[in-house]
Structure formats: structure tokens, C-alpha cells
């Protein structure tokens, strides 16, 4: 299937990325505002269970709303295909920023942490557990990180589509309770946050390669030797094996805010990220009238092939598999 020219009332002017569900396009509202339009793949859209899951994604994103995510503007979960339009956030994902510019300096990891903890407070405050916090689901915006992609989130503790013994998540950033197929609550997102910060600071996921990953997540300590010493104990606390031993977001925010307030000089956004934000904003302005649906936005940074790589490898993948102990 080719790229759509129009989705709902939005004119499609470029591609932003790909994930497990389909493509995310850059769209224009009739009044000219830039939107990210996520369009579900036709083969998934044919599956009623999947449509329900997509409707829950939209509900979760709407429930969270606000400054810490990409706010939902419009959606049609029963459409053919189903789609979701959110405010376009100019800026790279954390996955992209680290891939192109390398790990973030320690000060900016503190700031990233503070921003992400606040985002988690907004998410958990809306009775949502994200369950898929990872580098490709974090956009680095001018005013701080935004958490997107509520594709496998749990709303209000409802179990609905999650069956006991069924694992959902992105393996390198999953919590021990997630890999065991056990009950997952807000503390699971805190564990994933620890893993995300390891990635931000080192360019690597905390438990190494795929082989034996679930076992190491469940039983071994994360590799923190490459993490700057100042961050280690807080990250290790987030990554405690037992959910009850992890810090709550209030305690975490106090720690992160104190440290990110202390660091003088460099501040958010990191220089490389600021440059990407400028480029994207310029590119998006240009695409107003001349864009074609199939052309990738962020042409210099995010090629089609790279988007697929992000989608299929460590930071884009979502598994759904039975897990036998």
C-alpha cells in the first residue's frame, strides 16, 4: 500500500517514523498546523482485538494529555484505517539523539531524568501505567522530554487485554515483573526509567544483548560501570528487582530536581538536540505546501531504513508472547 495523501481532515506531507503498528506521518490541519498522524497497518486494522487496543491507546493518551506528552488532537479508532493525530513535536527521539550525537553528558541526564519523572507523575496521576518507556518513545523537545506511544499502556488498573502469563513490552527496557508476566504497576515504569537513563548516559541498554535477556532482567544486577558515578546509586534504586523497593516518583523528583538545579552552565536542550529541533522546525515549515507523502521528514537524520531499524531492533520492538516459567 502506498502512502496516503489525506487522513481524516489532515493532508499528509511526509513520513516521521515507523513502529510496530504502522507509519507515523507528518500532516497538516486545514488551518495549517503540523500534526503527527499515526496510521494503523491494514492487516492489524482487520483484527477487532487490535482495534480495541488502539482505542485504548487513544484513551490513555487523552487521559494523560498536557505538557509531558504529545497531546491528542483527533482520532478515528473505527476508521479504515484507524488513525490518531497528535501535536507534532519538533525534536529527535532519545534513540535518535544518542545514535547521532552519542550519549548525553551527565548534567543533561539529570535534566532528562527530572523531566521524565515529571512526565511519569502526569501519566500515573491519570491512572495510566505506560509499560513501554524506552528511547524511541521519548521525544526531546525544546521545553523537555515528552513521553509518547501509549500503545500497550494500562488504564486505571484494568487488565482487559493483558492476560496473566502474557508478556508485553520492549525486552531491553522491561521490568522483572513484566518479563515474568506478573502484575505491572507504576513501579514498572520507574524500573524502565532507570534503563532509559542508562541508555542516555552510555548509549547502551542496561542488560546487554538479547540472548538470555529475560533471565538477566529477572535475576542479575544491571551493568552500571559505564554510568557516571553520580548517577549510579539513583539508577540502581530505580532498578531494584522488587517493585516495592523502588522509589516513588515524588522521592525521585526531589533527587533529580536538586541535582539538575545544581548544574550550572549547560542546560536543556543539549546542543545537538537544539540543532535538530531547529532543523525540523524549518523543514516542517517548508513542507506546508510542497510536501509529498512518501518523503521522510528529518531527511538528514532519520532515513526510512533507520526508522525500520528502530522499529525492529532494540528500541522499537514490542513483544507479545507467552512466557512459561
Ligand X SMILES: Nc1ncnc2c1ncn2[C@@H]1O[C@H](COP(=O)(O)OP(=O)(O)O)[C@@H](O)[C@H]1O
Q: Which residues are catalytic?
A: 132
* 20 versus 247: smaller Cβ distance to ligand X: 20
CA dist 284 and 43 (Å) reads 30
Q: C-alpha grid cell for residue 235?
A: 539508577
Asked if residue 17 binds ligand X (CB under 6 A), the reply is: yes
Residue with cell 507515523: 24
Q: Based on the shown chain and the rule CB under 6 A, indicate whether residue 192 belongs to the binding site for ligand X.
A: no
Asked if 16 interacts with ligand X (CB under 6 A), we say yes
Residues 6+ away with beta carbon under 8 Å from 309:
316
Rounded to whole angstroms, the Cα distance separating 105 from 65 reads: 29
Using CB under 5 A, list all residues that contact Mg ion.
19, 137, 149
Q: What is the DSSP letter of 38?
A: E
170 binds, options Mg ion, ligand X, none, Cβ within 5 to 8 A by partner type: none
Q: Which letter does DSSP use for residue 242 in this model?
A: S
**Three-state SS for 85?**
strand
Binds 38, which of ligand X, Mg ion, none (CB < 5 to 8 A, cut-off by type)?
ligand X
Torsion of CA 197, 200, 201, 206, to 10 degrees: 60
Span of 118-126, 131-139, 209-217, 286-294 interacting with ligand X by CB under 6 A: 131-139
Q: Shortest Cβ distance from residue 21 to Mg ion (Å)?
A: 8
Interaction mask 235-274, ligand X, x per CB under 6 A: ----------------------------------------
Residue with cell 529475560: 214
Cα–Cα distance measured from residue 247 to residue 178, given in angstroms and rounded to the nearest whole number: 18
User: From residue 142 to residue 161, what is the string marking binding to ligand X with x (rule CB under 6 A)?
Assistant: ------xx-x----------
Per CB under 6 A, residues contacting ligand X are: 16-17, 19-21, 24, 36, 38, 70, 86-89, 93, 136-137, 139, 148-149, 151
Amino acid at each position: 500500500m502506498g502512502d496516503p495523501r489525506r487522513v481524516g481532515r489532515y493532508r499528509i506531507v511526509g513520513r516521521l517514523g515507523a513502529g510496530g503498528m504502522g507509519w507515523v506521518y507528518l500532516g497538516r490541519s486545514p488551518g495549517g498546523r503540523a500534526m503527527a498522524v499515526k496510521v494503523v497497518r491494514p492487516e492489524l486494522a482487520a483484527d477487532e482485538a487490535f482495534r480495541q487496543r488502539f482505542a485504548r491507546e487513544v484513551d490513555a493518551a487523552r487521559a494523560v494529555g498536557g505538557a509531558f506528552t504529545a497531546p491528542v488532537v483527533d482520532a478515528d479508532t473505527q476508521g479504515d484505517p484507524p488513525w490518531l493525530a497528535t501535536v507534532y513535536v519538533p525534536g529527535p527521539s532519545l534513540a535518535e539523539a544518542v545514535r547521532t550525537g552519542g550519549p548525553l553528558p551527565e548534567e543533561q541526564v539529570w535534566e532528562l531524568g527530572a523531566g521524565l519523572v515529571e512526565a511519569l507523575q502526569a501519566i500515573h496521576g491519570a491512572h495510566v501505567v505506560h509499560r513501554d518507556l524506552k528511547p524511541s518513545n521519548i521525544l526531546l523537545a525544546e521545553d523537555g522530554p515528552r513521553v509518547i506511544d501509549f500503545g500497550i499502556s494500562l488504564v486505571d488498573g484494568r487488565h482487559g487485554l493483558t492476560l496473566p502469563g502474557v508478556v508485553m513490552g520492549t525486552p531491553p527496557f522491561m521490568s522483572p515483573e513484566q518479563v515474568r508476566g506478573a502484575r505491572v504497576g507504576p513501579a514498572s515504569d520507574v524500573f524502565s526509567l532507570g534503563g532509559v537513563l542508562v541508555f542516555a548516559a552510555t548509549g547502551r541498554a542496561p542488560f546487554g544483548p538479547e540472548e538470555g535477556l529475560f533471565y538477566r532482567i529477572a535475576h542479575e544486577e544491571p551493568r552500571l560501570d559505564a554510568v557516571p558515578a553520580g548517577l549510579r546509586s539513583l539508577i540502581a534504586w530505580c532498578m531494584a528487582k522488587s517493585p516495592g523497593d523502588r522509589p516513588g516518583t515524588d522521592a525521585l523528583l526531589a533527587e533529580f530536581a536538586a541535582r539538575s538545579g545544581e548544574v550550572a552552565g549547560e542546560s536543556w536542550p543539549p546542543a545537538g538536540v537544539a540543532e535538530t529541533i531547529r532543523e525540523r522546525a524549518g523543514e516542517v515549515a517548508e513542507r506546508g505546501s510542497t510536501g509529498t507523502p512518501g518523503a521522510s521528514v528529518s531527511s538528514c537524520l532519520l532515513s526510512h531504513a533507520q526508522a525500520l531499524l528502530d522499529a525492529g531492533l532494540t528500541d522499537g520492538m514490542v513483544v507479545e508472547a507467552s512466557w512459561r516459567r
